[in-house]
Amino acid sequence: MTDPVQPTIRSATEEDLPAIVAMLADDALGATRESPDDLTPYIEAFKRLDGDPHQHVVVAVREGRVVGTLQLTIVPGLSRKGATRAIIEGVRVHADERGSGLGTRFIQWAVEQARRENCQLVQLTSDVTRTDAHRFYERLGFTASHVGFKLSL
């Protein structure tokens, strides 16, 4: 058996949006809040993100097919003696790629990018119902150190 072609991690383009949105919608939570049939709001959001040097929307591509995505946001701050932090959001791996090591590679990429941008901290949130994701992040060295709150507007 030959090794599968390793996916390439690269900046996302507008042409990647159908695949990205499909992955965002491909679970119980995403299915209730994403709309893959209307890409208009995603295109508008992508244009805002793409024009901001502190935003990194990336995809993993294997053999010409988008198989994963994540967003890394760099946030300067005053706390922690003026520390810059990185926030990882919207991590998704295509259903038929789960268990392939791609998620680990993605998070490692994000942490290394955060280091390149002189961040002192990487943080992420995960819905309380995503217990498999919690175990995954803990295996990668993240600690569940805070309680998160949201206010829908």
| Per-residue b or e along 3-36, where b marks 16 or more CB atoms closer than 10 Å to that residue's CB | eeeebebeebeeebbebbbbbbbeeeebeeebeb
Domain assignment present for residue 53? The answer is yes
* Model confidence pLDDT, tens digit, residues 32-57: 888 889 999 999 999 999 999 999 99
CB-based contacts of 88, cutoff 8 Å, min separation 6? 70, 71, 72, 107, 110, 122, 123, 124
Which is nearest to 97 in space by CA: 59, 135, 128?
A: 59
Domain assignment present for residue 66? The answer is yes
Domain assignment present for residue 125? The answer is yes
pTM of the prediction?
Answer: 0.89
* Model confidence pLDDT, tens digit, residues 103-136: 899 999 999 999 999 999 999 888 888 888 889 8
Q: What is the mean pLDDT of the chain?
A: 91
pLDDT score for 2: 44
Q: How many domains does the chain have?
A: 1
Residue 12 belongs to domain spanning: 8-139
Domain assignment present for residue 64? The answer is yes
Domain assignment present for residue 121? The answer is yes
How far apart are alpha carbons 75 and 55 in whole angstroms? 9
Domain assignment present for residue 145? The answer is no
Domain assignment present for residue 150? The answer is no
The percent of residues in the chain predicted with pLDDT above 70, rounded, is 97
pLDDT score for 109: 95
Instruction: Give the domain CATH number at 22.
Output: 3.40.630.30
Tally Cβ neighbours within 10 Å of residue 83.
14
Give me the residue label for tokens 């994403």. Answer: 34
Domain assignment present for residue 56? The answer is yes
